[in-house]
Amino acid sequence: MRVLNVGGNSKAIPIPPHYAGWDHLLLDIDPRGNPDVLADARELTALPAAQFDAVYCSHNLEHYYVHDARRVLQGFFHVLTDDGFAEVRVPDINGLLKHLVDTGRDIDDVIYVSPAGPITAHDMIYGWSVEIERSGQDFFAHKAGFTPKSLHRKLRAAGFSSIVMGSVPGAFELFAFAFKQAPRPDQLSLLGVPPHAV
């Protein structure tokens, strides 16, 4: 089994344990992380088709403008095998905005502390300012935001037929498992998705 980790920065950053034992290839635009494939995710359709069982993309899709995010998702569809799936994780803009309104917090207030340091609402919406300033690279900026409905629509428009959406409570994170065709029972079991959720 093969998984393509799109925009994962470095293989030193762990991917979910359900990919343990899989052949893990990293695709990234930044050469500093020594990716297996040095490329812009908007150009995934230039790669050979149907070569990965899964695409994992955590907190990368928001780094593209909305029209480019569509191209990225179409690229996921292209590189996946016929029974492959994509796992996509993005900031939960609905959850964040509701939190700001409910608590009266400001855009510059720290929302949570990550292993890399404090994360403000501004960082969640526009990109982690510390990394953007430190690297001098604007590809670390966020150029799009997603809600459950908008992410679902984008995945459907890219061709995915079965989509399971969810959120991580308290983490302001949306996730989606998007399948090219109806998921197999072993795939649902692997991802911890109950059959009735599809």
pLDDT at 188 over 90: yes
Nearest residue to 78 via CA among 159, 2, 140: 159
* Dihedral of alpha carbons 154, 158, 161, 167, sign: negative
For residues 86-90, average pLDDT: 98
Residue 53 lies in a domain: yes
- What is the C-alpha separation between 49 and 76, in angstroms, rounded? 10
- Quote the tokens at residue 93: 């803009």
Residue-level pLDDT at 119 = 93
Residue 156 lies in a domain: yes
The whole-model pTM stands at 0.94
Residue 101 lies in a domain: no
The CA–CA distances, whole Å, from 53 to 44, 77, 89, 94, 191 equal 15, 11, 18, 30, 13
Per-residue model confidence as pLDDT tens digits over 101-148: 999 999 999 999 988 899 999 999 999 999 899 988 888 899 999 999
- Quote the tokens at residue 13: 């950053």
Per-residue model confidence as pLDDT tens digits over 143-175: 999 999 999 999 999 999 999 999 987 789 999
Residue 115 lies in a domain: no
Residue 97 lies in a domain: no
Residue 128 lies in a domain: no
Question: What number of other Cβ atoms are within 10 A of residue 149's Cβ?
Answer: 10
- Quote the tokens at residue 82: 């016929």
Per-residue model confidence as pLDDT tens digits over 37-55: 999 999 999 999 999 999 9
Residue 119 lies in a domain: no
- What is the C-alpha separation between 46 and 193, in angstroms, rounded? 32
Say if strands 117-120 and 52-58 run parallel, antiparallel, or are unpaired: unpaired
Nearest residue to 131 via CA among 140, 143, 118: 140
CATH code, domain carrying 191: 3.40.50.150
Domain limits for position 65: 2-92+144-197
Total domains in the chain come to: 1
On whether the CB atoms of residues 165 and 92 are closer than 8 A, the answer is no
* Coil/strand/helix, residue 115: coil
Residue 123 lies in a domain: no
